[in-house]
Structure 1
Amino acid sequence: MRLVQLTVPTGKRETILETLDEREIDYVVTDETGSRAYTAVVYFPLPDAAVEPVLDEIQAAGVDEDAYTVVVDAETVISRRFQALREEYEEGDVGSDRISRQELQAEADDLTPSFPVYVVMTVISAVVATAGLLLDSPAVVVGSMVIAPLIGPALGASVGTVIDDEELFIESITYQILGVVVAIGAAAVFAVLVRSMNIVPPDLVLSSVGEISERLAPDLLSLAIALGAGVAGVVSIATGTSVALVGVMIAAALIPPAGVAGITLAWGQPTAAIGATVLVLVNLLSVNLAGLLTLWYAGYRPENLFSIGETEQRLRRRIVGLMVIVLVFAVFLGGITYASYEAGNFEQDARDEVETVLTQEQYESYELLEYQVVMDDNYPFRNPEQVVVTIGGPPGESAPELADILHERINSHADQSVSVEIRYVEILRR
């Protein structure tokens, strides 16, 4: 619930009070002596869902933005008329639980820090994320998400579009683009320093680090994460609930992939940065797309009713544009997902072949000790490069033909030639 404090311009007192009386809204009026432009201040409580329509009605009655308005949280209101007002406006859905358009715009502005603070916090979060990725520490990576100032710009563009605030939209888009560039650049510079100072092993293989490898070849599940973060972020800001945790979710979709992109550039592997960079872009676009759809569904419209048609056209163009770009990236991620699926099938089929061969009578004295498929470094579409099979058997015995048999049968499941390495281990049993 909200408490609205409305300054009454000279000559508008009766108009405002009549509007409140027609709505059966409780109010208190105090005379204003500090300014000739205002004659009084009206205080009246409203349910969250009633703030926007009541303020719009007051404005439609001829009270423009010169009537200074403050909307604050109200902890408790004890009034039968207020309860009736709540029953009239609240319907138990997102549309009725949302905050007013005026509050939404102010919230979006507040969530975006000043330019210097935004850049500094983005650099810090990218550096912390890079350190956590190189350390393979999920806790440090999560910590970098907490300090990332990304939720304001990520949601501000959607808010600016649906309420026809082009200044907010342009500012948010600028911040988002700058944030991605700064994050990747800061991560790359920090990774270069770390590598040149030998803080990490000079021969570190990026694919061997779990927190990095999972973002070098992202799949379609990453798209679901970004869409969920966008919807959750908009719902949280639109209903006036805490956005802190949702901000972490949005940062989770952007900061770690940006850190991985910077690390791969520092390691001189630009092709490996493709997957992480695509992940950053598709996540960023998905958050914006989800935000636009959710805000429009929640019922937010421009203040000027005559601009609704123009805003709807602009909204459709942006939604269609975002959907097309996201779809293109989704196809790319789908290709990575399919490649991973095929690699998984090959690994299982090749293992089955090895086990089937070893069950034959002439090889019954041998057993499979270890099985490993080595993938190539052609990110993000990785393919099997080598199969290493460790076989245990009696001392002094070996089966040279086994390598040829396994090579032939394993490669029957591969799209391209895969080398097969057989390792014999003598097993002594007493």
Structure 2
Amino acid sequence: MLHLRLITPTHRTDDVVRLIEKTTGATHLVVLPGAARNPSGDVVLCDVAREAGDELIGALRQLDLDETGSIAVENIDLSLSKRADKAQEEAPGEGADAVLWEHLADATHEESTLSVTYVAFITLATMIAACGVVLDNAILIVGAMAVGPEFGPLAGLSTALVQRAPRLALRSLIALVAGFAIAMAVTVGFSLFMDWLDLFHKSDLSADRPNTGFVYAPDEFSFIVAVLAGIAGTLSLTSAKSGLLVGVAISVTTVPAAANAAVALSYGDTKQTWGSTEQLLLNLLGIVLAGTLTLLAQKWLWARQRERTAKASGV
């Protein structure tokens, strides 16, 4: 269930109330006349089944409530109410399958912004991965994958392509390209510093590395795994199961490939630099492609679900 807290101009309150009352899956409607001060107006509260949330939020935006008032949405972890149970039963589809497009756009907007925190995380992840590839340590590679924040802009790019949002696409692309460029540049300097300390050696990079050699040797499985990870990551975002993102993060080799490219570049090893770069681009392409197709499939399936529900109800 979702909880909506709305601030409505007084002249719009009746329209908002009627809209909520007509929405299948909405319940627990509360109206507080004149309770809002900034902006001034009425406060309307209600709960709605997740599967009906996107349609209701879209209708509220058509009433310009996001411009003249406010729309705040929260997840309800526990609701002990027969009315809530009935609302969820009446709402079409399953809550786990529902996509809240406004929430997805907002979440990817935040995650795909080129911020100091984002650059710090992707740089630290790349430096950790650099240690992993030199030491041939799979644990460090997995740790670097989990720390890397690159799935945010990748999901933002997929969302932008589906929603036709050029500003989000540009923001995500800048975060992705600039983030990896800065992280790799810093890691080149880090590698040279570690070599000066006699902790990194060129012989370690050229030696047989059974645990991490895959990061500069892309093959068919590189793309296949990236596609599967892109599907899983997108589903985890749209179904609000964000905890699965950690599992997605450690299944693709974006950050380790960038790290190996940086270390190889610091030693002038063009073969490994190019192989790692190819691995990186292949993974990025696979994730974006899979994410975009997954969102398109979800959009189509949910539209079909609404059509079937409308026909069944005689609308």
If the length of structure 2 is used for normalisation, what is the TM-score?
0.85
Contact 1:191 1:263 (8 Å CA) reproduced: yes
Mapped pair 1:150 → 2:150: yes
Mapped pair 1:249 → 2:250: yes
What corresponds to 1:83 in structure 2? 85
What corresponds to 2:51 in structure 1? 49
Partner Cα separation in structure 2 for residue 36 and residue 205 of structure 1 = 61
Partner Cα separation in structure 2 for residue 197 and residue 5 of structure 1 = 58
Q: RMSD of aligned C-alpha atoms? A: 2.4
What corresponds to 1:169 in structure 2? 169
Q: Which has the higher contact order (CA 8 A, sep 6+)?
A: 2
Q: Deviations over 1:320-360 (max 9, x none)?
A: xxxxxxxxxxxxxxxxxxxxxxxxxxxxxxxxxxxxxxxxx
Pairwise CA distance, 1:4: 0.6
Contact 2:226 2:284 (8 Å CA) reproduced: yes
Q: Deviations over 1:299-324 (max 9, x none)?
A: 189xxxxxxxxxxxxxxxxxxxxxxx
Cα distance change on mapping 1:220 and 1:63 into 2, 3 Å: same
Figure out how many residues of one structure are paired with residues of the other and give that number. Answer: 298
Q: Which moved more, 1:12-21 or 1:193-202?
A: 193-202
Greater helix fraction, Structure 1 or Structure 2: 2
Partner Cα separation in structure 1 for residue 300 and residue 158 of structure 2 = 11
Cα distance change on mapping 1:204 and 1:133 into 2, 3 Å: closer
Gaps of at least 5 residues in structure 1 are: 302-430
Cα distance change on mapping 1:277 and 1:80 into 2, 3 Å: same
Moved over 4 A (4+): 61-64
What corresponds to 1:124 in structure 2? 124
Pairwise CA distance, 1:91: 2.3
Contact 1:9 1:67 (8 Å CA) reproduced: yes
Pairwise CA distance, 1:278: 0.5
Cα distance change on mapping 1:15 and 1:268 into 2, 3 Å: same
User: 1:100-139 maps to which residues of 2 (within 5 A)?
Assistant: 100-112=100-112, 115-139=115-139
Contact 1:206 1:212 (8 Å CA) reproduced: no
1:238 maps to a residue whose letter is T
Pairwise CA distance, 1:223: 0.7
Partner Cα separation in structure 2 for residue 65 and residue 216 of structure 1 = 50
Partner Cα separation in structure 2 for residue 121 and residue 36 of structure 1 = 37
Cα distance change on mapping 1:192 and 1:12 into 2, 3 Å: same
Cα distance change on mapping 1:246 and 1:32 into 2, 3 Å: farther
Mapped pair 1:199 → 2:205: no
Contact 2:51 2:93 (8 Å CA) reproduced: no
Q: Deviations over 1:347-393 (max 9, x none)?
A: xxxxxxxxxxxxxxxxxxxxxxxxxxxxxxxxxxxxxxxxxxxxxxx
Partner Cα separation in structure 2 for residue 142 and residue 123 of structure 1 = 15
Percent identity among equivalent residues?
Answer: 22
- Partner of 1:32, secondary structure, is strand
Cα distance change on mapping 1:184 and 1:201 into 2, 3 Å: closer
Contact 2:253 2:280 (8 Å CA) reproduced: yes
Contact 1:157 1:173 (8 Å CA) reproduced: yes
Partner Cα separation in structure 2 for residue 19 and residue 201 of structure 1 = 67
What corresponds to 1:237 in structure 2? 237
Cα distance change on mapping 1:215 and 1:33 into 2, 3 Å: closer
- Partner of 2:108, secondary structure, is helix
